[in-house]
Structure 1
Amino acid sequence: MQFRFGSMSIRVNMPDRATLMAEVGRRLASRQGFALATINLDHLVKLHRDPAFRTAYATQDLVVADGNPIVWLSRLARRPVSLVPGSDLVLPLARLAADGDTPVALLGSTPDALDAAARHLIAAVPGLRIACRLSPPMGFDPAGPQADALLAQVAASGAGLCFLALGAPRQEILAARGRSLAPGVGFASVGAGLDFLAGQQVRAPAWVRAIAMEWAWRMLSSPRRLVPRYAACAAILPGEVARALALRHGN
């Protein structure tokens, strides 16, 4: 499944979790870095509006479908992919890292949240090594010199996998920068994934996620912040449906 933005296209190239885990395992074993992005409707909105985000996304090595609308669009286009939420990837990726004795870095959120997430990960994943925990200050610029310093710390720590919990577009921009400044590190953009583990944010219950209503749960929990975001997502849906239908018919 691919999405076009002018002359640029972005493709969901990891169609399911099994394919993703096999590729990440191969890259971790060979110390081959990567950037992993989890595309959703909010990302599509930002990709249409933000050239810097598009440039960063174009460097992402692995892209999965994080959101049921992306899955539905892929089916409409007859290029089906499976749902692979970024928040659900933290523990499986940590287990892969532990199995290969690959140290992990945590970058983003707050110091307290990273400490709590690290405790949860160590308890849940025997043998996991946390190489470093880095929490950028407010106003952090993922394309500035402070980003370079953080990436140098990640590389110097010996981490082979780094979870980025900065939110879009900052985490994807930082991951793109990391591909050149720390080429042996795999950067996984997981949004609120670490905050969920830390208990800083409460995720929707499993039954809500099962009926594809997690968006409503989140919106009701933070309406001032999320109502405008989801309104923008709804506004682009007709155009994305039209593009999916064109893709279905080979246009």
Structure 2
Amino acid sequence: MTEDEVVEWVAAELEAGRGGRIVTPNVDICRAAGTDPALKELVCSAELVVTDGMPLVWAARLLGTPVPGRVTGADLIWSLSDLAARRGWPVYLLGGPPGVARRAAAELTGRHPGLKVCGVHAPPYHFDATPEGSDRVRRKVVAARPRLVFVGLGFPRQDRLIADLRAELPGVWFLGCGAAIAFAAGTVARAPEWMRRAGLEWAFRLVSEPGRLARRYLVDDLPFAARLLGGCLAARLRPR
């Protein structure tokens, strides 16, 4: 699906009173899901799964089953906020360091003046270490009565929480959006457009946050991406 098609789909489902969740896998999420059946099920059971990450776009092309392009959480947080502003649907922002979700809400409402933000919350990093901590976060979201929830807690923490909330809020749409809340707030810089198109957003983020991302990108994700693309090319060339 394209980004516009995702927005149209969510709009139609919300109009019909049906909720859902959106997962935007990148290389790191695919690597994790490829080695853990529970995480694979967490991804594959979502109502919408769209491609975030140019290596996945390239892999699909190599297999002869191309996708339209990237659909990222960092973009969807804006386009879905535009939808919510036009329809009068309240949104909730969950995640990021203290103050970041509130700043992101201000940026989103500044661009979309009709947007209603019914709540923001930045839970402590290990909020889900105890059932009580998870329950407090869930109660805040449920009490706010949102129609759209943007959850930026990183995979798989955000997606496990969303799966739990889906049972309590069956008519709500959830977007697991990772760093998108920080991008929207402007506290973390996003790569220039040309780097995103070229599949180099990871390099920009690595330079920006080497201490946090070096091992993930260089040790874990880069070899996985190379194996993925090599395997897809081999499958494409294999005689049928």
| TM value normalised by structure 1 | 0.86
Query: Does the 8 A contact of 1:101 with 1:128 survive in 2?
Result: yes
Q: 1:208 to 1:241 in 2, by over 3 A?
A: closer
| 8 Å Cα contact 2:32-2:39 kept in structure 1 | yes
Deviates more, 1:73-82 or 1:201-210: 201-210
Deviations 1:63-114 (A, max 9, x none): 1100100100111111111111210111100011122211000111133111
Alpha-carbon spacing, 1:97–1:143, altered in 2? closer, same or farther (3 Å): farther
Asked if 1:235 corresponds to 2:233, the answer is no
Q: 2:52 aligns to what?
A: 66
The structure carrying a bigger helix percent of its residues is: 2
Change (3 A) 1:196 1:238: closer
Paired residues, what number? Answer: 237
In structure 1, which of residues 154, 162, 165 is the aligned counterpart of residue 149 of structure 2? 162
Deviation readout 1:138-177 (Å, 9 max, x if unpaired): 2121883432332232222120100001111111111111
For 1:224, the equivalent position in structure 2 comes to 211
Q: Secondary structure at the match of 2:115?
A: coil
Q: Any conservation in 1 of the 2:55–2:199 contact (CA below 8 Å)?
A: no
Contact 1:27 1:33 in 2 (8 A): yes
| Cα pair distance change 1:213/1:50, threshold 3 Å | same
* Aligned counterpart, 1:4: none
Aligned: 1:244 with 2:232: yes
Task: Give how far 1:247 is off.
Answer: 6.2
Which of 185, 192, 197 is the aligned partner of 2:179? 192
Give the alignment of 1:98-247 within 5 angstroms: 98-141=85-128, 144-231=131-218, 232-241=220-229, 243-245=231-233
Q: Secondary structure at the match of 2:65?
A: coil
Q: Distance in 2 between matches of 1:250 and 1:55?
A: 31
Contact 1:47 1:54 in 2 (8 A): yes
Q: Which sections of structure 2, spanning at least 5 residues, go unmatched?
A: none
Q: CA separation in 2, counterparts of 1:110 and 1:194? A: 10
Greater share of residues in strand: 1
For the Cα contact (< 8 Å) 1:31–1:160, is it kept in 2? Answer: no
1:36 maps to what in 2? 22
- 1:30-57 CA distance string (max 9 Å, x none): 2311110111101012112334422322
DSSP 3-state at the match of 2:149? strand
Change (3 A) 1:165 1:51: same
How far 1:227 moved relative to its partner?
Answer: 1.9
Q: Is contact 1:142-1:171 (8 Å) kept?
A: no
Q: Which residue of 1 aligns with 2:7?
A: 21
Q: Aligned equivalents of 2:63 and 2:42: distance in 1?
A: 25
User: Could you tell me the TM-score, scaled by structure 2's length?
Assistant: 0.90
The superposition leaves residues 185-230 of structure 1 with CA deviations (integer Å, 9 ceiling, x where unpaired) of 1110111111112121111122322332111111111222222111
Contact 1:28 1:100 survives alignment (8 Å): no
Unaligned runs of 5+ in 1: 1-14
**Identity over aligned pairs, percent:** 36
Tell me the alpha carbon deviations over residues 124-147 of structure 1, each in whole angstroms, 9 at most, x when there is no partner.
112110111111112121883432
